Amino acid sequence: MSFRPLYRRVSLRAAVAAAALGGAVLVPATAAFADTVPATPAGQGQQATDAGTLIRTDELKGGLTAKVYKHGDQHVYYTAEVLDGAKALGVLTAGGGYAPEESKVFGNGIKVTLDFTGAVTSVVDAGSDGQGPVTPVGTLIRTDELKGGLTAKVYKHGDQHVYYTAEVLDGAKALGVLTAGGGYAPEESKVFGNGIKVTLDFTGAVTSVVDAGSDGQGPVTPVECVATVTKSIGAGTLAELSISPSGPSVVFQGADGKVLGQLSRLHPALPASAGFLGEIINPSSTAPQLRTNMEGGGHPASVTDFPKLPKGCSFTYATTSGNSTSGEGTSANGTETQTSQTSVVPKGSVAAGAEVEQNGSPVLIAVGGAAAVGAAGLGFVLMRRRAAASAR
């Protein structure tokens, strides 16, 4: 009796089974690795000409109106189209990557302001010729007596986005104006009169010192207890990080030089409506850090060290230890570093056993396993065929 047909049937069945098994394993593995192709980041295709969504129409002074539009999802900003009846007079833009607020004078001296929250205000700017206000627009909250017989009238501006101005006077003569807070720097200082240095900070507080020996170009008092560095944080934005006895502070500036926001020890985080992440980590510590993210959409944030307080100087508040728990930061030489690890978990039938570790580590296991199974099946077929041939 011949057994050749039986051997042929067994060999054929084994070959078919091996091929089917290899195909069943290899196809999902291939699909799984296809799933690792990165998707286009959210918002990358958004057009700069986004028309926005009309959220309301505000009635303004002087019979004007403002149509307020909201733009974007990740980086929200607002525009306000100012109209006199049906006639468009101009557009204001604020928030996101733009300045925290924008003001213009329209019509018969109506100053309209849009801030980064989408709020619109209007005031009668009497005396303006359309170039801007002549006198500070705001609420007078007090008048301070300064050194050298000077005085400062302190004004508060805004509701959501508060800032202050101080008009410095010598008797009835106005010498100049200081501005701080809101979208401006945390403090501003100038030397007036006979060497009187006046400083306004973002809380509205005014101080004055005799700057003996100054020729009006600036203070001659020691500044060795202040250290400042400037870092690029992306999207054309600069962050000026300062450390002083009163703590850390940050001023964000856009590519056009406009101030986009500021942070301090007492106000360590930007609001969500600012359009980007900015916060001081451990603001009351001896080693604070700045965390920023200009992209969002899952993009890792960057962490930058503040400069060290100079030797011989001390903080004016109780400090804590300042070790960051983040894996991102700056190295000792000031170079920004980012530490991240990416894992890819395939979909489909090999999801439980496959993992890819990038940056030079092994590429595991599913495809190699599938290839091994396929090779084993083919080897089995060849061995059976050889055994059959020798039996003949």
- Please count the other Cβ atoms lying within 10 Å of the Cβ belonging to residue 11: 18
Please state whether beta strands 302-305 and 173-181 pair in parallel, antiparallel, or not at all (unpaired). Answer: unpaired
Percent of the chain scored above 70 by pLDDT?
62
Cα angle, residue 369 at apex, residues 368 and 373 outer, rounded to 5°: 120
Please state whether beta strands 110-115 and 101-106 pair in parallel, antiparallel, or not at all (unpaired). Answer: antiparallel
Domain ranges within the chain, ordered by starting residue: 4-36+347-391, 53-124, 139-210, 227-337
pLDDT recorded at residue 106 = 80
pLDDT at 309 over 80: yes
- Please count the other Cβ atoms lying within 10 Å of the Cβ belonging to residue 214: 16
Round to whole Å and give the CA distance between 114 and 92.
Answer: 6
Q: Give the pLDDT band (50/70/90) at residue 372.
A: low
Q: Give the pLDDT band (50/70/90) at residue 345.
A: very low
Q: Give the pLDDT band (50/70/90) at residue 346.
A: very low
3 state DSSP class of 366: helix
Does residue 384 contact residue 7 with C-beta atoms inside 8 Å? yes
Q: Which residues of 234-269 are buried (b: 16+ CB within 10 A; e: fewer)?
A: eeebebbbbbbebbbbbbbbeeeeebbbbbbbebbe
Round to whole Å and give the CA distance between 225 and 292.
Answer: 25
Count, residues in the chain: 392
Reported pTM: 0.36
Shortest CA distance to 203 belongs to which of 264, 251, 256, 153? 264
Instruction: Provide CB contacts within 8 A for 313, sequence distance 6+.
Output: 224, 225, 245
Segment 229-274, tens digit of pLDDT: 889 998 889 898 989 888 898 988 887 777 788 888 888 999 887 8
Instruction: Assign 3-state DSSP to the chain and report helix, strand, coil percentages, each to 5.
Output: 15, 40, 45
Round to whole Å and give the CA distance between 74 and 68.
Answer: 19
What is the overall mean pLDDT for the chain? Answer: 72
Instruction: Provide CB contacts within 8 A for 211, sequence distance 6+.
Output: 191, 195, 196, 197, 219, 220, 221
Round to whole Å and give the CA distance between 197 and 218.
Answer: 8
Q: Give the pLDDT band (50/70/90) at residue 388.
A: low
Round to whole Å and give the CA distance between 392 and 387.
Answer: 9
Does residue 294 contact residue 336 with C-beta atoms inside 8 Å? no
